[in-house]
Amino acid sequence: LGRGAAVDPARDTFGAMTGLYGAIQPADSVSLSTRTHGAVFNLEYSPDGSVLTVACEQTEVLLFDPISSKHIKTLSEAHEDCVNNIRFLDNRLFATCSDDTTIALWDLRKLNTKVCTLHGHTSWVKNIEYDTNTRLLVTSGFDGNVIIWDTNRCTEDGCPHKKFFHTRFLMRMRLTPDCSKMLISTSSGYLLILHDLDLNKSLEVGSYPILRARRTTSSSDITSSGSSGPRAVGSPCHQNDSGPVYEKYLSRSSQREGGSPRNSLEVLTPEVPGERDRGNCITSLQLHPKGWATLLRCSSNTDDQEWTCVYEFQEGAPVRPVSPRCSLRLTHCIEEANVGRGYIKELCFSPDGRMISSPHGFGIRLLGFDAQCRELVDCLPREASPLREIRSLYSHNDVVLTTKFSPTHCQIASGCLSGRVSLYQPKF
């Protein structure tokens, strides 16, 4: 085509894929259902895209073939309470977590029994992450604990585990794709970031340096804004450190010319449009597949507003040690429908990171950073800009709670409060 060698051929492939997503029509959906199993809380594809798993309110896990839309199996008593999240460790092993405080490991080749059940949390377990390099499973729950499980030494009785971190009001926990950072969102509006992550070291209260404590900003001059005040310093982490102690940690990090010590903690209050003077709850937390940004779903404490926001990671050393760089900057946002109050809506990035699928009322919206669905790094605004609506897809008769892109096919899945799962894919 006469293009230079510097052109990334993968970008053309992703451009074609986003074009297909934009061509999907509301009628291009298939309804998956077996029987009454309660609300759909989470959807997860296997890494090769061959299996779609569904976490249900009434103790069940459903498995479907997403290509043929055939029901494979129902794990009718996967747990003793609501199933909240599913995470694949590889193409055959997956983990589920539940309000019954346990995590279960399953093997697709033998679904009649669990591989093992993991006990360690004391309250509802809400999400699961997995470090493929160390084979460590990471879970978080409403007991405020983040627990590490060593799947290398897994037996029928469980896995060795240890408490890694604790914070109040914990909602969601995620690892960046390279597992260099852990992000934790809270119901009190804080976002905690552990930099230069070392999962082999447990963190006790006061054992980690607090690098920064401030409010994110949408301004291009992110070093000019002041601290967010005492509320941002350690409130969710049971920290009782005084000002001098905080300055001691700051000075220690500054001596490393801006480099972060292992497991250094950053406490942020992400700025949300319309919520400058009121608190908010961060209900959903996702990471860009290339680690460029984080995606948040925020609702006001009064439940009268709901927003989807994208924050770009700001890397590099701080400009002034006394006013360190905030590592997140608000780049894009959009107001949501704010229906189904009290339920968490889980959104997601597409596999290439160009699009966002967001629950919106009785359907989903496909959102892009611009009208052409370019990559985030190609269309970063100087000030926060609206996310662009590429397509709206409505096929449910109840509030949609979760949505997921297939990792291998041009397909999107969504699940709603009444238990229906819909698959969207283009028809030719």
Q: pLDDT category, 237, cuts 50, 70, 90?
A: low
Interacting residues of 51 by C-beta distance below 8 A, sequence separation 6+: 45, 63, 64, 65, 66, 72, 108
Q: Which domains, ranges and CATH numbers included, belong to the chain? A: 25-212+263-424 (2.130.10.10)
Mean confidence (pLDDT) of the chain: 81
Joined tokens for residue 217: 């900003």
Distance CA 386, CA 369 (A): 8
Distance CA 186, CA 236 (A): 8
**pTM, full prediction:** 0.84
Choose the weakest-confidence range: 94-103, 262-271, 391-400: 262-271
Choose the weakest-confidence range: 219-223, 320-324, 355-359, 399-403: 219-223
- pLDDT of 351-374, one tens digit each? 999 999 999 999 999 999 998 889
- pLDDT of 174-204, one tens digit each? 999 999 999 999 988 889 999 989 998 876 6
Q: Looking at per-residue confidence, does 278 or 261 come out higher?
A: 261
- pLDDT of 34-60, one tens digit each? 566 789 999 999 999 999 999 998 889
DSSP H helical segments within 229-309, as ranges?
Answer: 243-254
Q: Looking at per-residue confidence, does 92 or 28 come out higher?
A: 92
Give the SS3 label for residue 415: strand
Q: For the CA atoms of 192, 373, 361, 312, what is the dihedral angle to 10 degrees? A: 10
145-150 and 136-141 strand pairing = antiparallel
* pLDDT of amino acid 98: 95
Q: Looking at per-residue confidence, does 219 or 340 come out higher?
A: 340
Q: Find how far residue 267's CA is from the centre of its chain.
A: 17
* pLDDT of amino acid 272: 76
Q: Looking at per-residue confidence, does 375 or 227 come out higher?
A: 375
DSSP assignments along 91-155, one per residue: SSEEEEEETTSEEEEEETTBTTS-SEEEE--SS-EEEEEEETTTTEEEEEETTSEEEEEEGGG-B
Element (H, E) at 400: strand 400-405
pLDDT average, residue stretch 17-24: 83
